[in-house]
Amino acid sequence: MQVTINELEFYLLDHYGDHGIDQSLFMKLVEEIGEVAEVLNKKAGRKSSDDEDLKSELANELADVIHYTIAIAALNDIDMNETILQKDKTASIRYHHRTNLENYIKEMRNK
């Protein structure tokens, strides 16, 4: 199953809408980013690691980062789908990329 950014935004708004406080969600986001750093340090050998599945741990921590990021956006009525596309267009021009995300997606969908 695939999930769109918009679907995740609506789901998280429904989940946090009545009691979500973006400042507390931000603190959870920071915590999760720290956990991503912890896993990356283990992968790089800067921290010791038991027989952990670091790829799985990293995937889970990155999912948490996305969760809290999108939840904060949803509570603040920010359309992350549109924001991502627009920000990428600006970066594509500034850094002289061959294409931008929107055009890339259109090309991939037409294949």
| Amino acid 19: pLDDT | 83
Averaged pLDDT for residues 3-9: 97
| Amino acid 88: pLDDT | 98
Both 86 and 69 in a single domain? no
Both 39 and 2 in a single domain? yes
Query: What pTM was computed for the model?
Result: 0.91
Number of domains in the chain: 2
Averaged pLDDT for residues 68-85: 97
| Amino acid 34: pLDDT | 98
Segments in 1-111 forming alpha helices (H): 5-16, 22-43, 54-75, 80-94, 101-109
Q: Say if CB 99 and CB 107 are below 8 A apart.
A: yes
Both 59 and 5 in a single domain? yes
Positive or negative torsion for Cα 68, 6, 88, 57: positive
Averaged pLDDT for residues 13-31: 93
Averaged pLDDT for residues 42-61: 93
Two tokens at 79?
A: 């359309």
Q: Is the pLDDT of residue 7 over 90?
A: yes
| Range(s) of the domain holding residue 56 | 1-78
Both 32 and 60 in a single domain? yes
Average pLDDT, the chain: 96
CATH classification at residue 55: 1.10.287.1080
